[in-house]
């Protein structure tokens, strides 16, 4: 009885699933498949030539690069993007001394309370403060940016697929849709109706190809590096992508170094466990025939 009921239930479920299949197959055969520009002309993110210093299981931070990236963030990105999970004190990990961090924090104005009147005001930052947001709230951020709120950058490289490469590709990827081609096909020939609306900017690395952010890195020397590195656009993009990788995962290198120690220990312990098992079982395993 139980098997008859089960078989009936199975046939019903399978039947309805197959009905849905034939319905879907009929639709697929009778309707032209929809092609879209963002589906066919989207580009996969790629890293800078030679990759990042922290790529791979033994990669490490390039401290000088992180410092340059901080400068790019401070002078360019921070005009619109917050970095709310990073505190000034964290910058000591980038090789700055306590005094340098204190001085850097003091150059930033953070929200505070007037000790005399109790009214909201601003005060110079302390090392324990977090990077301040450029806008007082989301409404102000939207109002100042054509209704597109600039996202917080603290976790950006973990919040996108291949995040470090994505940030680099996006920053260097702004181009003219009129001449853009992928695999020898021109966007404007395949999709003559494609337009980039006013206030948006064409970027093939962005999901729907039109991005609300104007190209932030436009000219060589836009940032003056303290270490004398030539501030080309790809260089600035690489540096800030590295910096944002650090802000998203400050324990990245510590994690991998711990991991190597753990793996060496585990390999050793597992080899011992293997031989222990072999010896214990030696008596009851059948002898192999020669």
Partner 1 sequence: MSFPWAKEYTPASGFTKWIDEKLPLPRFVYNAVGAGYPVPRNLNYMWNFGVLAGFCLVLQIVTGVVLAMHYAANAQVAFGTVEHIMRDVNWGWMLRYMHANGASFFFLVLYLHIFRGFFYSSYKAPREMIWLLGVVIFLLCMATAFMGYVLPWGQMSFWGAKVITGLFSAIPLVGEPIQVWLLGGYAPDNASLNRFFSLHFLLPFVIAGVVILHIWALHIPGSSNPTGVEVKSESDTVPFHPYYTAKDGFGLGVFLIIYCVVVFFLPNMLGHPDNYIEANPLSTPAHIVPEWYFYPFYAILRAFTFDFILEAKLWGVLAMFSSILLWFLLPWLDRSPVRSGHYRPLFRIFFMIFVADMAVLFYCGGAPAEEPYVMISQIATAYYFLHFLVILPIVSSIEKPKPLPYSITEAVLGSDKKAVLGENTQPAT
Positions in the binding site for partner 1 (CB under 8 A): 2-3, 6-7, 9-11, 13-21, 23-25, 28, 33, 57, 85, 90, 151, 154-155, 158-161, 163, 207, 248, 250-251, 255-256, 258-260, 262-263, 266-267, 269-270, 273-274, 276-277, 280-281, 283-284, 286
CB of 223: closest distance to partner 1 in angstroms?
26
* Shorter beta-carbon distance to partner 1: residue 49 or 285: 285
| Whole-angstrom distance, CA of residue 113 vs CA of residue 122 | 7
Smallest distance, partner 1 to C-beta of residue 24, A: 5
Least separation in angstroms between residue 285's CB and partner 1 is 8
Phi–psi pair at 202, nearest 5 degrees = -75, 130
Nearer to partner 1, 207 or 221 (CB): 207
Give 136 or 221: the residue with its C-beta nearer to partner 1. Answer: 136
* CA neighbor of 188 nearest in space, from 197, 198, 176, 199: 176
- CB-nearer residue toward partner 1: 200 or 223: 200
Q: Give the residue among 126, 158, 132 at the shortest CA–CA distance from 73.
A: 132
Q: Write b or e for each residue in 181-192: b if 16 or more Cβ atoms lie within 10 A of its Cβ, otherwise e.
A: eeeeeebeeebe
- Cβ–Cβ under 8 Å, residues 87 and 125: no
State the nearest-atom distance from the C-beta of 126 to partner 1, in Å: 16
């Amino acid at each position: 009885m139980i098997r008859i009921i089960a078989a009936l239930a199975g046939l019903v479920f399978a039947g309805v699933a197959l009905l849905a299949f034939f319905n879907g197959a009929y639709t697929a055969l009778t309707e032209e498949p929809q092609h879209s520009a963002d589906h066919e002309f989207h580009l996969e993110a790629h890293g800078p030539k030679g990759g990042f210093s922290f790529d791979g299981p033994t990669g490490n931070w390039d401290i000088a690069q992180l410092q340059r990236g901080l400068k790019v963030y401070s002078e360019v990105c921070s005009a619109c993007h917050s970095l709310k999970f990073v505190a000034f004190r964290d910058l000591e990990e980038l090789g700055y001394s306590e005094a340098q961090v204190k001085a850097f924090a003091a150059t930033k104005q953070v929200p505070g309370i007037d000790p005399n009147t109790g009214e909201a005001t601003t005060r110079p930052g302390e090392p324990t403060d977090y990077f301040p947001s450029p806008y007082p709230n989301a409404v102000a951020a939207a109002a100042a940016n054509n209704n597109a709120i600039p996202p917080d950058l603290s976790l950006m490289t973990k919040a996108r697929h291949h995040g470090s490469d994505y940030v680099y590709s996006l920053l260097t990827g702004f181009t003219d849709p009129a001449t853009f081609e992928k695999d020898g096909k021109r966007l404007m020939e395949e999709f003559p109706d494609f337009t980039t609306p006013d206030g948006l900017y064409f970027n093939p690395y962005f999901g729907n190809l039109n991005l609300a952010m104007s190209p932030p890195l436009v000219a060589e020397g836009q940032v003056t590096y303290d270490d004398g590195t030539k501030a080309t656009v790809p260089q600035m993009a690489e540096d800030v992508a590295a910096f944002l990788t650090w802000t998203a995962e400050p324990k990245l290198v510590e994690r991998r170094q711990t991991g190597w120690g753990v793996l060496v220990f585990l390999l050793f312990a597992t080899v011992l466990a293997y031989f222990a098992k072999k010896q214990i079982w030696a008596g009851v395993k059948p002898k192999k025939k020669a």
